Amino acid sequence: MALKGIDIFKLTPKKNCKECGSPTCMAFAMKVAQGSADISACPYMSDEAKAQLSEATAPPMKTIKVGAGECEHTLGGETVLYRHEATFVQRPLFGVCLCSDCVDEKLENTLKVDYERIGEREYVEVLYLIYKGDKDAYLELVKKSMGKGRLLVLDCKDADAAAAALEVCGADKPILNGATPENYQAMSELASKCGVVLGVGAADLDALYDTVAALEAAGNKNLILDVTGADAKESLSNAVQVRRAALKNQDRTFGYPSIVNLAKLAKDDLHTQVALASVFILKYASIIVMQEMTYATALPLYGLRQNIFTDPQKPMRVEPGIYPLNGADENAPCAVTTDFALTYFLVSGELERSGVPVNLLISDGGGYSVLTSWAAGKFSAGTIDKFLKEQDIEGKIKSRTLIIPGKVAVLKGELEEKLPGWEIKISPNEASGLVKFMKDL
Protein backbone atom coordinates (compact mmCIF):
# COMPACT_ATOMS: atom_id res chain seq x y z
CA MET A 1 0.00 0.00 0.00
CA ALA A 2 1.13 3.54 -0.65
CA LEU A 3 2.18 5.30 2.53
CA LYS A 4 0.78 8.63 3.63
CA GLY A 5 3.14 11.49 4.51
CA ILE A 6 2.07 11.34 8.13
CA ASP A 7 3.07 7.67 8.42
CA ILE A 8 6.51 8.48 7.11
CA PHE A 9 6.75 11.50 9.42
CA LYS A 10 6.33 9.21 12.44
CA LEU A 11 9.55 7.44 11.47
CA THR A 12 11.62 10.61 11.00
CA PRO A 13 13.79 11.99 13.87
CA LYS A 14 11.45 15.07 14.00
CA LYS A 15 14.38 17.40 14.67
CA ASN A 16 14.00 19.63 11.57
CA CYS A 17 17.77 19.62 10.98
CA LYS A 18 17.29 20.55 7.27
CA GLU A 19 20.19 18.27 6.34
CA CYS A 20 17.97 16.45 3.85
CA GLY A 21 17.36 19.70 2.02
CA SER A 22 13.76 20.13 3.20
CA PRO A 23 12.83 22.84 5.73
CA THR A 24 11.10 20.45 8.14
CA CYS A 25 10.77 16.73 8.72
CA MET A 26 7.09 17.00 7.85
CA ALA A 27 7.89 18.60 4.48
CA PHE A 28 10.43 15.87 3.82
CA ALA A 29 7.90 13.18 4.67
CA MET A 30 5.35 14.67 2.27
CA LYS A 31 7.93 14.71 -0.51
CA VAL A 32 8.82 11.09 0.08
CA ALA A 33 5.14 10.14 -0.01
CA GLN A 34 4.76 11.88 -3.37
CA GLY A 35 7.84 10.11 -4.65
CA SER A 36 9.76 13.37 -5.23
CA ALA A 37 12.36 12.72 -2.52
CA ASP A 38 14.22 9.57 -1.59
CA ILE A 39 14.10 8.27 1.94
CA SER A 40 17.87 7.80 2.02
CA ALA A 41 18.32 11.60 2.03
CA CYS A 42 17.63 11.62 5.78
CA PRO A 43 20.88 10.95 7.65
CA TYR A 44 19.25 10.23 11.01
CA MET A 45 16.64 7.64 10.25
CA SER A 46 17.39 4.17 11.60
CA ASP A 47 18.35 1.50 9.09
CA GLU A 48 15.36 -0.47 10.20
CA ALA A 49 12.98 2.39 9.45
CA LYS A 50 14.67 2.99 6.12
CA ALA A 51 14.31 -0.63 5.08
CA GLN A 52 10.67 -0.60 6.11
CA LEU A 53 10.01 2.57 4.16
CA SER A 54 12.00 1.83 1.04
CA GLU A 55 9.95 -1.32 0.62
CA ALA A 56 6.68 0.55 1.11
CA THR A 57 7.58 3.56 -1.00
CA ALA A 58 9.18 1.54 -3.79
CA PRO A 59 7.59 2.12 -7.18
CA PRO A 60 4.84 -0.40 -8.04
CA MET A 61 6.65 -1.54 -11.17
CA LYS A 62 10.36 -2.15 -11.23
CA THR A 63 12.71 -0.48 -13.64
CA ILE A 64 14.92 -3.15 -15.19
CA LYS A 65 18.13 -2.49 -17.09
CA VAL A 66 19.03 -4.88 -19.89
CA GLY A 67 21.89 -5.14 -22.35
CA ALA A 68 25.26 -3.44 -22.22
CA GLY A 69 26.98 -0.67 -24.12
CA GLU A 70 25.14 0.61 -27.19
CA CYS A 71 22.38 -1.96 -26.79
CA GLU A 72 21.58 -1.05 -23.20
CA HIS A 73 17.89 -0.35 -22.60
CA THR A 74 15.64 0.40 -19.68
CA LEU A 75 12.33 -1.42 -19.31
CA GLY A 76 9.37 -0.93 -16.98
CA GLY A 77 9.02 1.78 -14.36
CA GLU A 78 5.49 2.63 -15.49
CA THR A 79 3.22 4.30 -12.95
CA VAL A 80 -0.13 4.58 -14.77
CA LEU A 81 -2.50 2.40 -16.80
CA TYR A 82 -3.57 5.24 -19.10
CA ARG A 83 -1.23 7.78 -20.61
CA HIS A 84 -3.51 10.75 -19.85
CA GLU A 85 -3.15 10.05 -16.12
CA ALA A 86 0.52 11.09 -16.29
CA THR A 87 2.64 9.59 -19.05
CA PHE A 88 3.95 6.26 -20.24
CA VAL A 89 7.66 6.13 -19.53
CA GLN A 90 9.49 3.41 -21.47
CA ARG A 91 8.52 2.77 -25.04
CA PRO A 92 8.36 -0.93 -25.87
CA LEU A 93 11.24 -2.49 -27.78
CA PHE A 94 10.62 -4.42 -30.97
CA GLY A 95 12.31 -7.72 -31.62
CA VAL A 96 12.53 -10.20 -34.48
CA CYS A 97 12.84 -13.90 -33.77
CA LEU A 98 15.70 -15.80 -35.30
CA CYS A 99 16.56 -19.48 -35.27
CA SER A 100 19.56 -21.36 -36.58
CA ASP A 101 17.71 -22.24 -39.81
CA CYS A 102 16.58 -18.74 -40.72
CA VAL A 103 19.27 -16.46 -39.32
CA ASP A 104 21.25 -16.18 -42.53
CA GLU A 105 18.39 -14.86 -44.62
CA LYS A 106 16.53 -12.92 -41.91
CA LEU A 107 19.24 -11.14 -39.97
CA GLU A 108 20.38 -8.97 -42.83
CA ASN A 109 16.85 -7.86 -43.73
CA THR A 110 16.12 -7.12 -40.09
CA LEU A 111 19.13 -4.85 -39.77
CA LYS A 112 18.08 -2.95 -42.91
CA VAL A 113 15.10 -1.36 -41.17
CA ASP A 114 16.84 1.59 -39.54
CA TYR A 115 15.72 5.19 -39.92
CA GLU A 116 14.94 8.36 -38.02
CA ARG A 117 11.49 9.70 -37.20
CA ILE A 118 11.13 13.06 -35.44
CA GLY A 119 14.44 12.84 -33.68
CA GLU A 120 14.24 9.19 -32.67
CA ARG A 121 16.09 6.27 -34.17
CA GLU A 122 13.65 3.56 -35.29
CA TYR A 123 15.04 0.06 -35.70
CA VAL A 124 14.69 -3.48 -34.42
CA GLU A 125 16.24 -3.18 -30.97
CA VAL A 126 16.04 -6.86 -30.04
CA LEU A 127 17.16 -10.10 -31.66
CA TYR A 128 15.12 -12.93 -30.18
CA LEU A 129 17.09 -16.16 -30.47
CA ILE A 130 15.10 -19.37 -30.37
CA TYR A 131 16.70 -22.61 -29.15
CA LYS A 132 15.54 -25.61 -31.12
CA GLY A 133 17.35 -28.45 -29.36
CA ASP A 134 20.75 -28.38 -31.05
CA LYS A 135 23.28 -26.71 -28.78
CA ASP A 136 26.02 -26.25 -31.35
CA ALA A 137 23.62 -24.73 -33.87
CA TYR A 138 22.34 -22.41 -31.14
CA LEU A 139 25.82 -21.20 -30.24
CA GLU A 140 26.40 -20.54 -33.91
CA LEU A 141 23.18 -18.47 -33.97
CA VAL A 142 24.26 -16.50 -30.91
CA LYS A 143 27.66 -15.76 -32.45
CA LYS A 144 26.10 -14.58 -35.71
CA SER A 145 23.76 -12.25 -33.82
CA MET A 146 26.42 -10.67 -31.64
CA GLY A 147 28.14 -7.41 -32.41
CA LYS A 148 25.22 -5.95 -34.32
CA GLY A 149 24.39 -3.39 -31.64
CA ARG A 150 21.16 -5.16 -30.75
CA LEU A 151 19.95 -6.52 -27.43
CA LEU A 152 19.87 -10.32 -27.45
CA VAL A 153 17.11 -12.36 -25.84
CA LEU A 154 17.86 -16.06 -25.42
CA ASP A 155 14.64 -18.05 -25.73
CA CYS A 156 16.01 -21.21 -24.18
CA LYS A 157 14.58 -23.43 -21.48
CA ASP A 158 17.52 -25.83 -21.50
CA ALA A 159 19.86 -24.80 -18.66
CA ASP A 160 22.84 -26.53 -20.22
CA ALA A 161 22.46 -24.84 -23.62
CA ALA A 162 21.67 -21.50 -21.93
CA ALA A 163 24.84 -21.74 -19.85
CA ALA A 164 26.89 -22.37 -22.99
CA ALA A 165 25.22 -19.46 -24.79
CA LEU A 166 25.83 -17.14 -21.84
CA GLU A 167 29.48 -18.11 -21.85
CA VAL A 168 29.60 -16.71 -25.37
CA CYS A 169 27.48 -13.57 -25.02
CA GLY A 170 27.12 -13.04 -21.24
CA ALA A 171 29.16 -9.84 -21.32
CA ASP A 172 26.51 -8.25 -23.59
CA LYS A 173 23.95 -8.78 -20.78
CA PRO A 174 21.25 -10.50 -22.84
CA ILE A 175 17.90 -11.48 -21.36
CA LEU A 176 17.62 -15.18 -20.59
CA ASN A 177 13.96 -15.92 -21.32
CA GLY A 178 13.58 -19.50 -20.19
CA ALA A 179 12.42 -19.88 -16.59
CA THR A 180 9.34 -22.04 -16.07
CA PRO A 181 7.68 -23.52 -12.97
CA GLU A 182 9.73 -26.67 -13.64
CA ASN A 183 13.23 -25.28 -14.18
CA TYR A 184 13.24 -21.90 -12.45
CA GLN A 185 15.78 -22.80 -9.77
CA ALA A 186 18.50 -23.83 -12.19
CA MET A 187 17.72 -20.94 -14.57
CA SER A 188 17.70 -18.40 -11.77
CA GLU A 189 21.08 -19.56 -10.49
CA LEU A 190 22.48 -19.30 -14.00
CA ALA A 191 21.01 -15.83 -14.61
CA SER A 192 22.20 -14.54 -11.24
CA LYS A 193 25.68 -15.95 -11.80
CA CYS A 194 25.95 -14.18 -15.14
CA GLY A 195 24.20 -11.04 -13.90
CA VAL A 196 21.50 -11.14 -16.59
CA VAL A 197 17.76 -10.53 -16.45
CA LEU A 198 15.65 -13.69 -16.31
CA GLY A 199 12.46 -14.09 -18.33
CA VAL A 200 9.73 -16.11 -16.63
CA GLY A 201 6.86 -17.87 -18.35
CA ALA A 202 4.16 -20.33 -17.30
CA ALA A 203 1.04 -22.04 -18.61
CA ASP A 204 -1.29 -19.62 -16.82
CA LEU A 205 -1.26 -16.55 -14.58
CA ASP A 206 -1.52 -18.55 -11.35
CA ALA A 207 1.54 -20.63 -12.17
CA LEU A 208 3.37 -17.49 -13.33
CA TYR A 209 2.50 -15.73 -10.09
CA ASP A 210 3.72 -18.61 -7.95
CA THR A 211 6.93 -18.93 -9.92
CA VAL A 212 7.71 -15.21 -9.63
CA ALA A 213 6.96 -15.36 -5.90
CA ALA A 214 9.33 -18.33 -5.54
CA LEU A 215 12.06 -16.53 -7.52
CA GLU A 216 11.67 -13.42 -5.38
CA ALA A 217 11.84 -15.53 -2.24
CA ALA A 218 15.09 -16.97 -3.56
CA GLY A 219 16.39 -13.43 -3.94
CA ASN A 220 16.09 -12.87 -7.71
CA LYS A 221 14.20 -9.65 -8.48
CA ASN A 222 15.84 -9.08 -11.84
CA LEU A 223 12.98 -10.47 -13.91
CA ILE A 224 10.80 -9.95 -16.95
CA LEU A 225 7.46 -11.70 -17.43
CA ASP A 226 6.70 -13.63 -20.61
CA VAL A 227 2.96 -13.04 -20.96
CA THR A 228 2.62 -14.96 -24.24
CA GLY A 229 -0.32 -17.33 -23.77
CA ALA A 230 -1.80 -20.13 -25.85
CA ASP A 231 -3.55 -17.63 -28.13
CA ALA A 232 -3.93 -13.90 -28.71
CA LYS A 233 -6.87 -13.58 -26.35
CA GLU A 234 -5.05 -15.19 -23.43
CA SER A 235 -1.94 -13.13 -24.12
CA LEU A 236 -3.87 -9.85 -24.01
CA SER A 237 -5.59 -11.03 -20.85
CA ASN A 238 -2.20 -11.82 -19.29
CA ALA A 239 -0.60 -8.53 -20.32
CA VAL A 240 -3.46 -6.43 -18.95
CA GLN A 241 -3.97 -8.37 -15.73
CA VAL A 242 -0.29 -8.39 -14.91
CA ARG A 243 0.04 -4.64 -15.33
CA ARG A 244 -3.25 -3.90 -13.61
CA ALA A 245 -2.32 -6.05 -10.63
CA ALA A 246 0.94 -4.15 -10.24
CA LEU A 247 -0.25 -0.59 -10.78
CA LYS A 248 -3.87 -0.59 -9.66
CA ASN A 249 -3.87 -3.26 -6.99
CA GLN A 250 -0.30 -2.71 -5.77
CA ASP A 251 0.57 -6.36 -6.10
CA ARG A 252 4.33 -6.07 -6.57
CA THR A 253 4.78 -9.72 -7.47
CA PHE A 254 3.64 -8.74 -10.96
CA GLY A 255 5.52 -5.43 -10.94
CA TYR A 256 7.89 -6.35 -13.78
CA PRO A 257 8.15 -5.51 -17.47
CA SER A 258 6.60 -7.99 -19.89
CA ILE A 259 7.48 -9.63 -23.18
CA VAL A 260 5.11 -11.03 -25.80
CA ASN A 261 6.01 -13.20 -28.80
CA LEU A 262 3.61 -12.52 -31.68
CA ALA A 263 5.38 -14.92 -34.03
CA LYS A 264 4.02 -17.66 -31.79
CA LEU A 265 0.45 -16.27 -31.75
CA ALA A 266 0.06 -15.60 -35.47
CA LYS A 267 2.71 -17.66 -37.20
CA ASP A 268 3.35 -16.66 -40.83
CA ASP A 269 0.58 -14.04 -40.74
CA LEU A 270 2.41 -10.71 -40.68
CA HIS A 271 -0.76 -8.62 -41.07
CA THR A 272 -2.24 -10.13 -37.93
CA GLN A 273 1.07 -9.64 -36.14
CA VAL A 274 0.90 -5.94 -37.02
CA ALA A 275 -2.66 -5.77 -35.66
CA LEU A 276 -1.63 -7.50 -32.45
CA ALA A 277 1.54 -5.41 -32.09
CA SER A 278 -0.62 -2.27 -32.29
CA VAL A 279 -2.79 -3.63 -29.49
CA PHE A 280 0.22 -4.52 -27.35
CA ILE A 281 1.88 -1.12 -27.86
CA LEU A 282 -1.15 0.34 -26.09
CA LYS A 283 -1.63 -2.55 -23.72
CA TYR A 284 1.49 -2.89 -21.78
CA ALA A 285 4.11 -4.99 -23.56
CA SER A 286 7.72 -3.96 -22.86
CA ILE A 287 9.21 -6.11 -25.62
CA ILE A 288 7.17 -7.12 -28.68
CA VAL A 289 8.63 -9.94 -30.76
CA MET A 290 7.65 -10.21 -34.44
CA GLN A 291 8.39 -12.91 -36.98
CA GLU A 292 9.99 -10.31 -39.21
CA MET A 293 10.22 -6.57 -39.60
CA THR A 294 9.95 -4.78 -42.93
CA TYR A 295 9.53 -1.10 -43.67
CA ALA A 296 5.85 -1.77 -44.35
CA THR A 297 5.34 -3.11 -40.82
CA ALA A 298 7.80 -0.76 -39.14
CA LEU A 299 6.39 2.53 -40.46
CA PRO A 300 2.96 2.34 -38.79
CA LEU A 301 4.13 0.46 -35.69
CA TYR A 302 7.02 2.79 -34.87
CA GLY A 303 4.85 5.80 -35.66
CA LEU A 304 2.16 4.53 -33.31
CA ARG A 305 4.72 3.77 -30.61
CA GLN A 306 6.22 7.23 -30.91
CA ASN A 307 2.78 8.80 -30.58
CA ILE A 308 1.69 6.77 -27.58
CA PHE A 309 4.95 7.21 -25.70
CA THR A 310 5.18 10.98 -25.99
CA ASP A 311 4.73 12.80 -22.73
CA PRO A 312 1.29 14.49 -22.87
CA GLN A 313 2.86 17.52 -21.17
CA LYS A 314 5.68 17.85 -23.70
CA PRO A 315 4.51 18.26 -27.27
CA MET A 316 6.35 16.43 -30.04
CA ARG A 317 8.50 18.77 -32.09
CA VAL A 318 10.08 18.65 -35.50
CA GLU A 319 13.42 20.23 -36.26
CA PRO A 320 13.14 23.85 -37.48
CA GLY A 321 14.41 24.30 -41.03
CA ILE A 322 13.50 24.20 -44.72
CA TYR A 323 11.45 21.22 -45.90
CA PRO A 324 11.17 21.19 -49.72
CA LEU A 325 7.96 19.40 -50.77
CA ASN A 326 6.85 18.01 -54.13
CA GLY A 327 10.30 18.51 -55.58
CA ALA A 328 10.44 22.21 -54.65
CA ASP A 329 13.56 24.10 -55.74
CA GLU A 330 14.77 27.63 -55.03
CA ASN A 331 12.03 29.09 -57.22
CA ALA A 332 9.13 27.51 -55.32
CA PRO A 333 7.17 29.70 -52.89
CA CYS A 334 7.67 29.44 -49.13
CA ALA A 335 5.04 28.53 -46.55
CA VAL A 336 5.80 29.04 -42.88
CA THR A 337 4.35 27.32 -39.82
CA THR A 338 5.41 26.16 -36.34
CA ASP A 339 7.39 23.14 -35.18
CA PHE A 340 4.53 21.34 -33.37
CA ALA A 341 4.72 17.83 -34.84
CA LEU A 342 0.98 17.52 -35.42
CA THR A 343 0.89 20.89 -37.18
CA TYR A 344 3.82 19.83 -39.32
CA PHE A 345 2.22 16.52 -40.28
CA LEU A 346 -1.15 18.03 -41.13
CA VAL A 347 0.29 20.91 -43.11
CA SER A 348 2.99 18.93 -44.92
CA GLY A 349 0.46 16.17 -45.70
CA GLU A 350 -2.00 18.58 -47.30
CA LEU A 351 0.75 20.46 -49.14
CA GLU A 352 2.05 17.18 -50.53
CA ARG A 353 -1.45 16.23 -51.59
CA SER A 354 -1.73 19.46 -53.58
CA GLY A 355 1.21 18.37 -55.72
CA VAL A 356 2.40 22.00 -55.92
CA PRO A 357 6.13 22.47 -55.20
CA VAL A 358 6.57 24.52 -52.04
CA ASN A 359 9.30 25.12 -49.46
CA LEU A 360 7.80 24.48 -46.04
CA LEU A 361 9.59 26.59 -43.45
CA ILE A 362 9.35 25.25 -39.91
CA SER A 363 10.16 27.97 -37.41
CA ASP A 364 10.79 27.43 -33.73
CA GLY A 365 7.40 27.91 -32.05
CA GLY A 366 8.40 26.16 -28.84
CA GLY A 367 6.64 23.00 -29.98
CA TYR A 368 3.21 24.64 -29.90
CA SER A 369 0.50 24.89 -32.52
CA VAL A 370 0.09 28.08 -34.55
CA LEU A 371 -2.38 29.90 -32.33
CA THR A 372 -0.79 28.80 -29.07
CA SER A 373 2.73 29.79 -30.08
CA TRP A 374 1.40 33.07 -31.49
CA ALA A 375 -0.32 33.76 -28.16
CA ALA A 376 2.91 32.91 -26.34
CA GLY A 377 4.85 35.35 -28.53
CA LYS A 378 6.85 32.54 -30.12
CA PHE A 379 5.36 32.86 -33.58
CA SER A 380 5.27 36.52 -34.56
CA ALA A 381 6.48 38.79 -37.35
CA GLY A 382 9.65 39.24 -35.29
CA THR A 383 10.35 35.52 -34.85
CA ILE A 384 9.56 34.75 -38.50
CA ASP A 385 11.87 37.54 -39.62
CA LYS A 386 14.60 36.27 -37.30
CA PHE A 387 14.10 32.71 -38.52
CA LEU A 388 14.37 33.76 -42.18
CA LYS A 389 17.62 35.57 -41.44
CA GLU A 390 19.10 32.77 -39.31
CA GLN A 391 18.37 30.19 -41.96
CA ASP A 392 19.52 32.55 -44.74
CA ILE A 393 16.30 31.93 -46.63
CA GLU A 394 16.87 34.91 -48.92
CA GLY A 395 20.20 33.43 -49.96
CA LYS A 396 18.88 29.90 -50.40
CA ILE A 397 15.52 30.60 -52.05
CA LYS A 398 14.84 32.94 -54.94
CA SER A 399 11.06 33.04 -54.65
CA ARG A 400 9.76 35.99 -52.66
CA THR A 401 6.32 34.60 -51.86
CA LEU A 402 5.69 33.75 -48.23
CA ILE A 403 2.48 31.96 -47.26
CA ILE A 404 1.45 32.38 -43.62
CA PRO A 405 -1.22 30.43 -41.70
CA GLY A 406 -4.72 31.92 -41.88
CA LYS A 407 -4.93 31.90 -38.10
CA VAL A 408 -2.18 34.52 -37.86
CA ALA A 409 -3.42 36.69 -40.75
CA VAL A 410 -2.88 39.69 -38.45
CA LEU A 411 0.87 39.34 -38.97
CA LYS A 412 0.65 40.30 -42.65
CA GLY A 413 1.17 44.07 -42.27
CA GLU A 414 4.03 43.78 -39.87
CA LEU A 415 5.73 41.11 -41.98
CA GLU A 416 5.51 43.27 -45.09
CA GLU A 417 7.31 46.01 -43.18
CA LYS A 418 10.01 43.69 -41.87
CA LEU A 419 10.48 41.77 -45.12
CA PRO A 420 10.62 44.28 -47.96
CA GLY A 421 10.38 42.67 -51.36
CA TRP A 422 8.34 39.75 -50.10
CA GLU A 423 4.76 39.11 -51.05
CA ILE A 424 2.85 37.82 -48.01
CA LYS A 425 -0.08 35.51 -48.76
CA ILE A 426 -2.62 34.22 -46.29
CA SER A 427 -3.59 30.55 -46.42
CA PRO A 428 -6.94 29.17 -45.18
CA ASN A 429 -7.60 28.74 -41.46
CA GLU A 430 -7.65 24.96 -41.67
CA ALA A 431 -5.07 22.69 -43.30
CA SER A 432 -7.88 20.93 -45.16
CA GLY A 433 -8.27 24.01 -47.38
CA LEU A 434 -4.64 23.95 -48.47
CA VAL A 435 -5.00 21.72 -51.52
CA LYS A 436 -7.35 24.10 -53.27
CA PHE A 437 -5.42 27.14 -52.04
CA MET A 438 -2.14 25.84 -53.44
CA LYS A 439 -3.66 24.85 -56.77
CA ASP A 440 -5.17 28.33 -57.15
CA LEU A 441 -1.96 30.09 -56.09
Closest separation in Å from C-beta 204 to other proteins: 9
Closest separation in Å from C-beta 88 to other proteins: 10
84/219 with CB nearer other proteins: 84
291/306 with CB nearer other proteins: 306
d(CA 417, CA 427): 19
Closest separation in Å from C-beta 40 to other proteins: 30
Closest separation in Å from C-beta 399 to other proteins: 23
- Please give the distance of CA 418 from its chain centroid, rounded to a whole number: 42
69/327 with CB nearer other proteins: 327
Whether 256 contacts 224, CB under 8 Å: yes
d(CA 130, CA 112): 21
302/422 with CB nearer other proteins: 302
- Residues interacting with other proteins, by CB under 8 A? 82-84, 112, 117, 205-206, 208-210, 213, 231-233, 236-237, 240-241, 244-245, 248-249, 251, 253-254, 269, 271-272, 274-279, 281-283, 294-297, 299-304, 306-308, 310, 312, 341-342, 345-346, 349, 352-353, 432-433, 435-436
Closest separation in Å from C-beta 401 to other proteins: 21
Q: Which of 32, 25, 92 is nearest to 287 (CA)?
A: 92
d(CA 441, CA 435): 10
121/233 with CB nearer other proteins: 233
Whether 381 contacts 411, CB under 8 Å: yes
Closest separation in Å from C-beta 158 to other proteins: 27
56/299 with CB nearer other proteins: 299
130 has which bridge partners? 155
The DSSP string of 38-72 is -GGG-SSS-HHHHHHHHHHTS-SS-EEEES-GGG-
- Length of the chain in residues, anyone? 441
Contacts for 115 with CB less than 8 Å, ≥ 6 apart: 121, 122, 123
For 192, the 3-state DSSP assignment is helix
27/207 with CB nearer other proteins: 207
Closest separation in Å from C-beta 307 to other proteins: 4
Nearest 5°: CA angle at 180, between 186 and 233? 165
392/430 with CB nearer other proteins: 430
Closest separation in Å from C-beta 349 to other proteins: 6
Q: Which of 274, 275, 282, 361 is nearest to 325 (CA)?
A: 361
Closest separation in Å from C-beta 211 to other proteins: 11
190/276 with CB nearer other proteins: 276
d(CA 209, CA 171): 30
Query: CA torsion, points 424, 430, 431, 433, in degrees to nearest 10?
Result: -80
Closest separation in Å from C-beta 102 to other proteins: 19
128 has which bridge partners? 97, 153
In sequence order, which ranges of 59-173 are alpha helices (DSSP H)?
A: 103-112, 135-145, 159-169
25/208 with CB nearer other proteins: 208
Whether 141 contacts 100, CB under 8 Å: yes
